[in-house]
Amino acid sequence: MTPQPVPARPRLVLASASPRRLALLQQAGLEVDALLPAEIDETPQRGEAPRFLAQRLATRKAEVANKIKNNQPELVGAYLIAADTVVAVGRRVLPKCETRDEAEDCLHLLSGRQHRVYTAVSLITPRGAERRRLAEARIRFKRLSSAEIAAYLATDEWRGKAGGYAIQGRAGIFVATVVGSYSAVVGLPLYETYALLSGEGFPALDFWEP
C-alpha cells in the first residue's frame, strides 16, 4: 500500500507580542509560526461599554496584522488570532498601567470588591473570513492593606498590565474568587480560541485524537 502523504500543519499567526498569550497557545499544543503585533489606538470611544471596547480592539488588531501577514509570502494562507483584554469596574475601564501612580490607583479601586475582565478574540481564516468570541470573568480581590499594595508595586509586575496586576503572578494571592475563564484573565481564553479555530477547519490537536 502506498503511504499517504502527511498533511501540512496549518500555520498560525498571533497578532501580539505578549509572552503570556504565546505561552497559553503553546500550553494548548498550538504552534505559532509568527508574532505580528499590531500598533493601534486603544483609546475608548465616548460612552463605549468595556465589552464592546474589547471586541472592537481585538477586531482592529486582527485587521491591521492581517494586512502585514498578507505581505509576507511565507504567511499567506495562515490563520491569524488577535485578542484584547479590558479590565473594568462597572463601566469604568481601567488603564494598562505605565506609572506607579496609575497602578496604585487601580489597586486601591480593586481592593475588597468585584471587577470584570473581558477578553475578546478575533480570528481571520485563510479565506479571509472573520470570526469573533468574547469571554467574561468576574474577579473579587481581598481587601488590600497599604503594605500589600506597596509590596506589589515594588515588584513592577503591574507595568503594562490592564488594571495594574497580573493574576498569574504575585497578585494571584489577592484573588478571592474567579468566576469564568482563568486563561481569559491571563490574556487569551483558550476554550473560545480553539472553538473559533476548529469551527473554521483548523485540524484537531493530535493529543485529542482517539
Q: Which three cell numbers stand for residue 145?
A: 492593606
**Catalytic pick from 33, 41, 84, 156?**
84
90 dihedral zone (left: phi>0; alpha: psi -120 to 50; beta)? left
Catalytic, 84? Answer yes
How far is C-alpha 2 from the chain's CA centre?
A: 44
Catalytic residue numbers? Answer: 84
